[in-house]
Chains A and B, each alone.
Chain A
Protein backbone atom coordinates (compact mmCIF):
# COMPACT_ATOMS: atom_id res chain seq x y z
CA UNK A 1 0.00 0.00 0.00
CA UNK A 2 2.80 2.33 -0.88
CA UNK A 3 0.59 4.94 -2.50
CA UNK A 4 1.79 8.21 -0.99
CA UNK A 5 1.49 11.22 -3.29
CA UNK A 6 4.99 12.12 -4.33
CA UNK A 7 5.36 15.87 -3.90
CA UNK A 8 6.34 17.76 -7.03
CA UNK A 9 8.65 20.69 -6.43
CA UNK A 10 6.16 23.28 -7.67
CA UNK A 11 3.38 21.81 -5.55
CA UNK A 12 5.67 21.63 -2.57
CA UNK A 13 6.67 25.27 -2.99
CA UNK A 14 3.05 26.30 -2.37
CA UNK A 15 3.51 25.58 1.32
CA UNK A 16 5.84 28.58 1.59
CA UNK A 17 2.84 30.79 0.76
CA UNK A 18 1.58 30.12 4.28
CA UNK A 19 4.56 32.06 5.58
CA UNK A 20 3.08 35.16 3.98
CA UNK A 21 0.15 34.85 6.38
CA UNK A 22 2.56 34.69 9.31
CA UNK A 23 4.37 37.73 7.95
CA UNK A 24 1.11 39.62 7.58
CA UNK A 25 0.07 38.89 11.16
CA UNK A 26 3.48 39.96 12.43
CA UNK A 27 3.33 43.16 10.46
CA UNK A 28 -0.15 43.91 11.74
CA UNK A 29 0.96 43.41 15.35
CA UNK A 30 4.29 45.14 14.79
CA UNK A 31 6.38 42.16 15.82
CA UNK A 32 9.78 42.90 14.35
CA UNK A 33 10.88 39.34 13.94
CA UNK A 34 10.29 39.04 10.20
CA UNK A 35 14.00 38.71 9.57
CA UNK A 36 14.36 35.90 12.11
CA UNK A 37 11.43 34.06 10.59
CA UNK A 38 12.82 34.32 7.07
CA UNK A 39 16.32 33.30 8.18
CA UNK A 40 14.88 30.39 10.15
CA UNK A 41 12.83 29.18 7.17
CA UNK A 42 15.79 29.40 4.81
CA UNK A 43 18.11 27.68 7.28
CA UNK A 44 15.63 24.90 7.83
CA UNK A 45 15.21 24.39 4.08
CA UNK A 46 18.95 24.29 3.45
CA UNK A 47 19.75 22.06 6.43
CA UNK A 48 17.02 19.58 5.61
CA UNK A 49 17.92 19.55 1.91
CA UNK A 50 21.51 18.76 2.85
CA UNK A 51 20.37 16.06 5.25
CA UNK A 52 18.22 14.69 2.42
CA UNK A 53 21.16 14.45 0.03
CA UNK A 54 23.36 12.83 2.64
CA UNK A 55 20.66 10.36 3.65
CA UNK A 56 19.89 9.47 0.03
CA UNK A 57 23.55 8.76 -0.54
CA UNK A 58 23.90 6.70 2.64
CA UNK A 59 20.75 4.68 1.92
CA UNK A 60 22.03 3.85 -1.57
CA UNK A 61 25.48 2.93 -0.23
CA UNK A 62 24.68 1.42 3.19
CA UNK A 63 28.21 1.07 4.50
CA UNK A 64 28.48 0.66 8.33
CA UNK A 65 31.13 3.40 8.43
CA UNK A 66 28.59 5.96 7.15
CA UNK A 67 26.06 5.00 9.79
CA UNK A 68 28.67 5.22 12.52
CA UNK A 69 29.95 8.56 11.24
CA UNK A 70 26.43 10.00 11.10
CA UNK A 71 25.73 8.74 14.62
CA UNK A 72 28.95 10.22 15.96
CA UNK A 73 28.24 13.56 14.32
CA UNK A 74 24.77 13.63 15.85
CA UNK A 75 26.07 12.73 19.31
CA UNK A 76 28.86 15.27 19.04
CA UNK A 77 26.44 17.98 18.02
CA UNK A 78 24.06 17.16 20.88
CA UNK A 79 26.94 17.34 23.39
CA UNK A 80 28.21 20.56 21.86
CA UNK A 81 24.80 22.20 22.14
CA UNK A 82 24.41 21.23 25.80
CA UNK A 83 27.91 22.40 26.75
CA UNK A 84 27.58 25.59 24.76
CA UNK A 85 24.69 26.61 27.01
CA UNK A 86 26.65 25.69 30.15
CA UNK A 87 30.05 27.23 29.54
CA UNK A 88 30.58 28.22 33.16
CA UNK A 89 30.71 24.61 34.39
CA UNK A 90 34.06 23.18 35.39
CA UNK A 91 35.85 20.79 33.04
CA UNK A 92 35.16 17.61 34.96
CA UNK A 93 31.47 18.48 35.06
CA UNK A 94 31.51 18.99 31.29
CA UNK A 95 33.25 15.66 30.72
CA UNK A 96 30.62 13.92 32.85
CA UNK A 97 27.83 15.55 30.84
CA UNK A 98 29.41 14.43 27.56
CA UNK A 99 29.78 10.85 28.76
CA UNK A 100 26.21 10.78 30.12
CA UNK A 101 24.68 12.02 26.88
CA UNK A 102 26.73 9.71 24.67
CA UNK A 103 26.50 6.59 26.83
CA UNK A 104 22.80 6.75 27.57
CA UNK A 105 21.89 7.73 23.99
CA UNK A 106 23.91 4.99 22.36
CA UNK A 107 22.98 2.22 24.78
CA UNK A 108 19.23 2.87 24.54
CA UNK A 109 19.59 3.14 20.77
CA UNK A 110 21.37 -0.22 20.65
CA UNK A 111 18.62 -1.85 22.72
CA UNK A 112 15.90 -0.28 20.55
CA UNK A 113 17.40 -1.31 17.21
CA UNK A 114 19.00 -4.59 18.23
CA UNK A 115 16.42 -6.07 20.60
CA UNK A 116 13.07 -4.36 19.93
CA UNK A 117 13.24 -3.84 16.15
CA UNK A 118 15.66 -6.71 15.60
CA UNK A 119 17.66 -4.97 12.91
CA UNK A 120 21.37 -4.56 12.38
CA UNK A 121 22.97 -1.78 14.46
CA UNK A 122 24.50 -0.45 11.26
CA UNK A 123 21.29 -0.27 9.24
CA UNK A 124 21.08 3.44 8.38
CA UNK A 125 17.34 3.35 7.67
CA UNK A 126 16.61 2.52 11.32
CA UNK A 127 19.60 3.85 13.20
CA UNK A 128 19.70 7.38 11.82
CA UNK A 129 16.10 8.52 12.38
CA UNK A 130 15.76 6.79 15.77
CA UNK A 131 19.11 8.16 16.93
CA UNK A 132 18.03 11.62 15.83
CA UNK A 133 14.90 11.49 17.93
CA UNK A 134 16.72 10.09 20.96
CA UNK A 135 19.63 12.53 20.80
CA UNK A 136 17.39 15.53 20.17
CA UNK A 137 15.29 14.77 23.23
CA UNK A 138 18.33 14.00 25.37
CA UNK A 139 19.82 17.33 24.42
CA UNK A 140 16.67 19.16 25.50
CA UNK A 141 16.30 17.13 28.69
CA UNK A 142 19.86 17.55 29.91
CA UNK A 143 19.88 21.25 29.04
CA UNK A 144 16.69 21.71 31.02
CA UNK A 145 18.02 19.76 33.99
CA UNK A 146 21.25 21.76 34.14
CA UNK A 147 19.37 25.02 33.75
CA UNK A 148 17.10 24.05 36.63
CA UNK A 149 20.14 23.05 38.72
CA UNK A 150 21.80 26.42 38.16
CA UNK A 151 18.61 28.33 38.84
CA UNK A 152 17.83 26.33 41.97
CA UNK A 153 21.27 27.08 43.36
CA UNK A 154 21.22 30.77 42.46
CA UNK A 155 20.72 32.86 45.55
CA UNK A 156 21.22 29.84 47.79
CA UNK A 157 24.78 30.57 48.87
CA UNK A 158 23.66 31.57 52.39
CA UNK A 159 21.81 28.26 52.63
CA UNK A 160 24.79 26.25 51.36
CA UNK A 161 27.25 28.14 53.59
CA UNK A 162 25.12 27.82 56.71
CA UNK A 163 24.82 24.06 56.25
CA UNK A 164 28.52 23.70 55.48
CA UNK A 165 29.42 25.70 58.59
CA UNK A 166 27.45 23.45 60.91
CA UNK A 167 29.32 20.43 59.56
CA UNK A 168 26.78 19.01 57.12
CA UNK A 169 28.25 16.79 54.40
CA UNK A 170 28.37 18.43 50.95
CA UNK A 171 26.39 15.53 49.46
CA UNK A 172 23.62 16.09 51.96
CA UNK A 173 23.54 19.81 51.18
CA UNK A 174 23.51 19.54 47.39
CA UNK A 175 21.44 16.38 46.77
CA UNK A 176 18.09 18.09 47.34
CA UNK A 177 19.00 20.49 44.51
CA UNK A 178 19.96 17.56 42.27
CA UNK A 179 16.67 15.78 42.95
CA UNK A 180 14.61 18.88 42.29
CA UNK A 181 16.42 19.55 39.00
CA UNK A 182 16.11 15.96 37.80
CA UNK A 183 12.38 16.19 38.34
CA UNK A 184 12.22 19.35 36.24
CA UNK A 185 14.18 17.67 33.45
CA UNK A 186 11.74 14.76 33.31
CA UNK A 187 8.42 16.58 33.60
CA UNK A 188 8.08 17.84 29.99
CA UNK A 189 8.72 14.34 28.64
CA UNK A 190 6.14 12.80 30.97
CA UNK A 191 3.65 15.51 30.04
CA UNK A 192 4.09 14.87 26.34
CA UNK A 193 3.54 11.15 26.96
CA UNK A 194 0.24 11.90 28.69
CA UNK A 195 -1.09 14.07 25.87
CA UNK A 196 -0.10 11.63 23.17
CA UNK A 197 -2.81 10.33 20.84
CA UNK A 198 -5.44 12.76 22.10
CA UNK A 199 -3.91 16.19 21.76
CA UNK A 200 -1.50 15.26 19.04
CA UNK A 201 -0.66 12.53 16.63
CA UNK A 202 3.09 12.49 16.99
CA UNK A 203 5.36 13.25 14.07
CA UNK A 204 6.91 9.86 13.63
CA UNK A 205 3.56 8.08 13.65
CA UNK A 206 2.06 10.60 11.23
CA UNK A 207 5.01 10.11 8.92
CA UNK A 208 4.71 6.35 8.96
CA UNK A 209 0.96 6.43 8.33
CA UNK A 210 1.42 8.88 5.46
CA UNK A 211 3.96 6.59 3.87
CA UNK A 212 1.58 3.67 4.03
CA UNK A 213 2.45 1.80 7.21
CA UNK A 214 -0.43 0.10 9.02
CA UNK A 215 -1.59 2.33 11.88
CA UNK A 216 -1.09 -0.50 14.37
CA UNK A 217 2.57 -0.82 13.41
CA UNK A 218 2.99 2.94 13.50
CA UNK A 219 1.46 3.02 16.95
CA UNK A 220 3.77 0.31 18.27
CA UNK A 221 6.77 2.20 16.94
CA UNK A 222 5.47 5.39 18.54
CA UNK A 223 4.99 3.79 21.94
CA UNK A 224 8.42 2.22 21.72
CA UNK A 225 10.10 5.50 20.82
CA UNK A 226 8.30 7.40 23.60
CA UNK A 227 9.45 4.91 26.22
CA UNK A 228 12.95 5.02 24.76
CA UNK A 229 12.91 8.84 24.91
CA UNK A 230 11.77 8.80 28.55
CA UNK A 231 14.54 6.39 29.40
CA UNK A 232 17.25 8.26 27.59
CA UNK A 233 16.23 11.65 29.05
CA UNK A 234 16.10 10.11 32.52
CA UNK A 235 19.43 8.31 32.22
CA UNK A 236 21.37 11.18 30.73
CA UNK A 237 19.99 13.83 33.11
CA UNK A 238 20.58 11.52 36.06
CA UNK A 239 24.15 10.83 34.96
CA UNK A 240 24.95 14.47 34.26
CA UNK A 241 23.52 15.80 37.52
CA UNK A 242 24.18 12.94 39.92
CA UNK A 243 27.81 12.49 39.00
CA UNK A 244 28.33 16.09 37.94
CA UNK A 245 27.35 17.72 41.24
CA UNK A 246 30.18 15.86 42.94
CA UNK A 247 32.66 18.02 41.02
CA UNK A 248 31.40 21.04 42.96
CA UNK A 249 33.28 20.12 46.13
CA UNK A 250 36.75 18.88 46.90
CA UNK A 251 38.27 16.47 49.39
CA UNK A 252 38.38 19.22 52.00
CA UNK A 253 34.59 19.45 51.63
CA UNK A 254 34.84 22.97 50.26
CA UNK A 255 32.01 23.79 47.88
CA UNK A 256 32.63 25.88 44.80
CA UNK A 257 29.45 27.31 43.35
CA UNK A 258 30.96 28.76 40.19
CA UNK A 259 28.14 27.02 38.29
CA UNK A 260 25.94 29.80 39.51
CA UNK A 261 28.51 32.46 38.81
CA UNK A 262 29.98 32.70 42.27
CA UNK A 263 33.48 31.64 43.18
CA UNK A 264 33.91 30.37 46.68
CA UNK A 265 37.05 32.22 47.63
CA UNK A 266 35.66 35.70 47.90
Chain B
Protein backbone atom coordinates (compact mmCIF):
# COMPACT_ATOMS: atom_id res chain seq x y z
CA UNK B 1 0.00 0.00 0.00
CA UNK B 2 1.18 3.48 -0.81
CA UNK B 3 1.32 6.17 1.85
CA UNK B 4 0.84 9.77 0.80
CA UNK B 5 1.77 11.16 4.22
CA UNK B 6 3.88 9.58 6.91
CA UNK B 7 5.46 10.79 10.10
CA UNK B 8 8.13 9.34 12.30
CA UNK B 9 9.27 10.35 15.79
CA UNK B 10 7.07 13.40 15.57
CA UNK B 11 6.95 15.75 18.53
CA UNK B 12 5.37 19.15 19.00
CA UNK B 13 7.05 21.40 21.57
CA UNK B 14 7.54 19.13 24.56
CA UNK B 15 3.86 18.49 25.02
CA UNK B 16 2.82 16.11 22.32
CA UNK B 17 4.58 12.94 21.16
CA UNK B 18 3.10 11.11 18.23
CA UNK B 19 3.35 7.41 17.39
CA UNK B 20 4.55 6.60 13.85
CA UNK B 21 1.78 7.66 11.46
CA UNK B 22 1.01 6.44 7.95
CA UNK B 23 -1.78 7.84 5.82
CA UNK B 24 -2.80 5.62 2.87
CA UNK B 25 -3.31 7.39 -0.44
CA UNK B 26 -6.82 8.02 -1.79
CA UNK B 27 -8.48 6.52 1.24
CA UNK B 28 -10.44 7.87 4.16
CA UNK B 29 -8.55 7.96 7.45
CA UNK B 30 -10.23 9.04 10.67
CA UNK B 31 -8.27 10.42 13.57
CA UNK B 32 -9.69 10.31 17.04
CA UNK B 33 -8.48 10.63 20.60
CA UNK B 34 -9.06 12.65 23.73
CA UNK B 35 -8.87 16.41 23.64
CA UNK B 36 -5.28 17.46 24.15
CA UNK B 37 -3.95 14.43 22.33
CA UNK B 38 -2.82 16.63 19.45
CA UNK B 39 -5.29 15.88 16.67
CA UNK B 40 -5.66 19.43 15.39
CA UNK B 41 -1.95 20.04 15.89
CA UNK B 42 -1.21 17.01 13.71
CA UNK B 43 -3.13 18.65 10.86
CA UNK B 44 -1.22 21.89 11.41
CA UNK B 45 2.04 19.95 11.31
CA UNK B 46 0.95 18.27 8.07
CA UNK B 47 0.31 21.62 6.36
CA UNK B 48 3.36 23.24 8.03
CA UNK B 49 1.48 26.10 9.68
CA UNK B 50 3.42 24.94 12.75
CA UNK B 51 6.76 23.17 12.85
CA UNK B 52 7.57 20.02 14.79
CA UNK B 53 10.19 20.22 17.51
CA UNK B 54 11.38 16.74 16.51
CA UNK B 55 10.76 14.18 13.82
CA UNK B 56 10.05 14.22 10.11
CA UNK B 57 6.96 14.28 7.95
CA UNK B 58 7.08 12.87 4.43
CA UNK B 59 4.60 13.99 1.78
CA UNK B 60 4.71 11.84 -1.35
CA UNK B 61 8.04 10.56 -0.12
CA UNK B 62 9.55 14.03 0.27
CA UNK B 63 10.43 15.68 3.58
CA UNK B 64 8.00 18.57 3.98
CA UNK B 65 10.70 20.79 5.47
CA UNK B 66 12.13 20.87 1.92
CA UNK B 67 8.81 21.77 0.27
CA UNK B 68 7.60 25.34 -0.28
CA UNK B 69 4.92 25.66 2.36
CA UNK B 70 2.49 27.65 0.24
CA UNK B 71 2.56 24.93 -2.46
CA UNK B 72 2.22 22.26 0.22
CA UNK B 73 -0.87 23.91 1.75
CA UNK B 74 -2.52 24.16 -1.66
CA UNK B 75 -2.27 20.38 -2.01
CA UNK B 76 -2.64 19.35 1.64
CA UNK B 77 -5.68 21.47 2.34
CA UNK B 78 -6.98 22.01 5.87
CA UNK B 79 -10.51 23.07 6.74
CA UNK B 80 -10.00 24.00 10.36
CA UNK B 81 -12.63 23.73 13.04
CA UNK B 82 -13.02 27.47 13.38
CA UNK B 83 -15.17 28.34 10.41
CA UNK B 84 -14.41 31.60 8.65
CA UNK B 85 -16.49 33.22 5.93
CA UNK B 86 -16.31 36.76 4.61
CA UNK B 87 -19.37 38.96 5.03
CA UNK B 88 -21.34 38.89 1.80
CA UNK B 89 -23.01 36.33 -0.42
CA UNK B 90 -22.01 32.69 -0.84
CA UNK B 91 -20.98 33.45 -4.41
CA UNK B 92 -18.81 36.30 -3.17
CA UNK B 93 -17.12 33.98 -0.68
CA UNK B 94 -16.15 31.55 -3.41
CA UNK B 95 -14.74 34.48 -5.39
CA UNK B 96 -12.78 35.83 -2.39
CA UNK B 97 -11.30 32.46 -1.40
CA UNK B 98 -10.27 31.78 -4.99
CA UNK B 99 -8.70 35.24 -5.20
CA UNK B 100 -6.61 34.60 -2.09
CA UNK B 101 -5.56 31.31 -3.68
CA UNK B 102 -4.70 33.16 -6.90
CA UNK B 103 -7.13 31.06 -8.91
CA UNK B 104 -9.74 32.06 -11.49
CA UNK B 105 -13.28 31.83 -10.11
CA UNK B 106 -15.36 28.78 -11.01
CA UNK B 107 -18.79 29.00 -12.64
CA UNK B 108 -22.10 28.82 -10.82
CA UNK B 109 -22.96 25.24 -11.76
CA UNK B 110 -19.63 24.09 -10.31
CA UNK B 111 -20.24 26.10 -7.13
CA UNK B 112 -23.69 24.51 -6.80
CA UNK B 113 -22.25 21.05 -7.32
CA UNK B 114 -19.85 21.51 -4.38
CA UNK B 115 -22.55 23.07 -2.20
CA UNK B 116 -24.81 20.08 -2.88
CA UNK B 117 -22.06 17.61 -2.01
CA UNK B 118 -21.90 19.34 1.36
CA UNK B 119 -25.70 19.39 1.79
CA UNK B 120 -25.70 23.19 1.51
CA UNK B 121 -28.75 23.79 -0.64
CA UNK B 122 -28.79 27.57 -0.47
CA UNK B 123 -29.16 30.13 -3.25
CA UNK B 124 -25.83 31.72 -4.19
CA UNK B 125 -27.12 35.16 -3.23
CA UNK B 126 -27.63 34.16 0.41
CA UNK B 127 -25.75 36.51 2.75
CA UNK B 128 -23.40 34.41 4.86
CA UNK B 129 -24.02 36.57 7.94
CA UNK B 130 -27.59 35.25 8.02
CA UNK B 131 -26.61 31.56 8.00
CA UNK B 132 -26.61 29.45 11.15
CA UNK B 133 -23.45 27.83 12.53
CA UNK B 134 -24.16 24.49 10.87
CA UNK B 135 -25.00 26.14 7.56
CA UNK B 136 -21.81 28.19 7.62
CA UNK B 137 -19.81 25.04 8.34
CA UNK B 138 -21.21 23.36 5.23
CA UNK B 139 -20.52 26.37 2.98
CA UNK B 140 -16.99 26.60 4.42
CA UNK B 141 -16.44 22.94 3.62
CA UNK B 142 -17.85 23.28 0.10
CA UNK B 143 -15.35 26.05 -0.65
CA UNK B 144 -12.49 23.79 0.44
CA UNK B 145 -13.78 20.92 -1.72
CA UNK B 146 -13.85 23.32 -4.67
CA UNK B 147 -10.18 24.20 -4.22
CA UNK B 148 -9.30 20.74 -5.63
CA UNK B 149 -6.90 19.42 -2.99
CA UNK B 150 -4.79 16.29 -3.19
CA UNK B 151 -5.23 15.66 0.53
CA UNK B 152 -8.28 17.09 2.28
CA UNK B 153 -8.04 17.44 6.06
CA UNK B 154 -11.31 18.11 7.86
CA UNK B 155 -11.15 19.09 11.53
CA UNK B 156 -14.50 18.16 13.09
CA UNK B 157 -16.49 18.90 9.93
CA UNK B 158 -19.82 17.80 11.37
CA UNK B 159 -19.57 19.32 14.85
CA UNK B 160 -22.49 21.70 14.25
CA UNK B 161 -24.68 19.33 12.21
CA UNK B 162 -27.53 17.03 13.21
CA UNK B 163 -26.89 13.30 12.86
CA UNK B 164 -28.88 12.80 9.65
CA UNK B 165 -27.23 15.70 7.80
CA UNK B 166 -23.82 14.72 9.14
CA UNK B 167 -24.12 11.19 7.74
CA UNK B 168 -25.52 12.31 4.42
CA UNK B 169 -22.83 14.92 3.97
CA UNK B 170 -19.98 12.65 5.01
CA UNK B 171 -21.21 10.01 2.61
CA UNK B 172 -21.27 12.44 -0.32
CA UNK B 173 -17.89 13.91 0.57
CA UNK B 174 -16.34 10.47 0.77
CA UNK B 175 -17.82 9.37 -2.55
CA UNK B 176 -16.54 12.54 -4.25
CA UNK B 177 -13.06 12.04 -2.81
CA UNK B 178 -12.98 8.39 -3.91
CA UNK B 179 -14.02 9.34 -7.43
CA UNK B 180 -11.33 12.01 -7.61
CA UNK B 181 -8.51 10.10 -5.88
CA UNK B 182 -8.46 12.60 -3.01
CA UNK B 183 -7.00 11.41 0.28
CA UNK B 184 -9.46 12.28 3.02
CA UNK B 185 -8.41 12.86 6.64
CA UNK B 186 -11.05 13.51 9.24
CA UNK B 187 -10.93 14.36 12.92
CA UNK B 188 -14.14 13.14 14.47
CA UNK B 189 -15.36 12.11 17.91
CA UNK B 190 -18.50 10.34 16.83
CA UNK B 191 -17.89 6.57 16.89
CA UNK B 192 -20.90 5.97 14.61
CA UNK B 193 -19.33 8.16 11.95
CA UNK B 194 -15.97 6.47 12.35
CA UNK B 195 -17.54 3.03 11.95
CA UNK B 196 -19.55 4.10 8.92
CA UNK B 197 -16.88 5.93 6.91
CA UNK B 198 -13.34 5.12 8.03
CA UNK B 199 -11.06 2.99 5.87
CA UNK B 200 -8.44 3.39 8.56
CA UNK B 201 -8.55 4.76 12.10
CA UNK B 202 -5.68 6.38 13.97
CA UNK B 203 -6.19 6.82 17.68
CA UNK B 204 -3.98 9.35 19.44
CA UNK B 205 -3.37 9.12 23.14
CA UNK B 206 -2.27 11.75 25.58
CA UNK B 207 1.21 10.92 26.83
| Interfacial residues, chain A to chain B (CB-CB below 8 A) | 157-159, 161-169, 172-173, 252-254, 264-265
B84 and A167 contacting across the interface, CB-CB below 8 Å: no
A168 and B100 contacting across the interface, CB-CB below 8 Å: yes
| Interfacial residues, chain B to chain A (CB-CB below 8 A) | 13, 47-51, 69-74, 77-80, 82-84, 97, 100-102, 140, 144, 147
A253 and B74 contacting across the interface, CB-CB below 8 Å: no
8 further interface pairs, Cβ-Cβ under 8 Å (given A172-B100, A254-B69): A161-B49, A161-B80, A161-B82, A164-B73, A166-B147, A253-B48, A253-B69, A253-B70
User: A265 contacts which chain B residues (CB < 8 A)?
Assistant: 13, 50
**6 smallest beta-carbon distances between A and B, as pairs:** A167-B74, A167-B73, A162-B84, A168-B100, A165-B78, A158-B84
User: A167 contacts which chain B residues (CB < 8 A)?
Assistant: 70-74, 77, 101
Tally inter-chain residue pairs, CB-CB below 8 A.
Answer: 64
Question: A166-B100, A168-B101 in contact; A254/B51 too (CB < 8 A)?
Answer: yes
Q: Which of B13, B49, B71 contacts A165 (CB 8 A)?
A: B49
Distance of A254 Cα from B50 Cα, bound (Å): 7
Distance of A210 Cα from B78 Cα, bound (Å): 67
A254 and B48 contacting across the interface, CB-CB below 8 Å: yes
User: B78 contacts which chain A residues (CB < 8 A)?
Assistant: 165
Question: A172-B100, A173-B100 in contact; A165/B80 too (CB < 8 A)?
Answer: yes
User: B69 contacts which chain A residues (CB < 8 A)?
Assistant: 252-254
User: A254 contacts which chain B residues (CB < 8 A)?
Assistant: 48-51, 69
Of residues A169, A172, A252, A254, which shows the largest number of chain B Cβ atoms within 10 Å of its Cβ?
A252
CB pairs A–B below 8 angstroms (10 shown): A164-B49, A165-B73, A166-B73, A166-B100, A167-B71, A168-B101, A172-B100, A173-B100, A254-B49, A264-B49
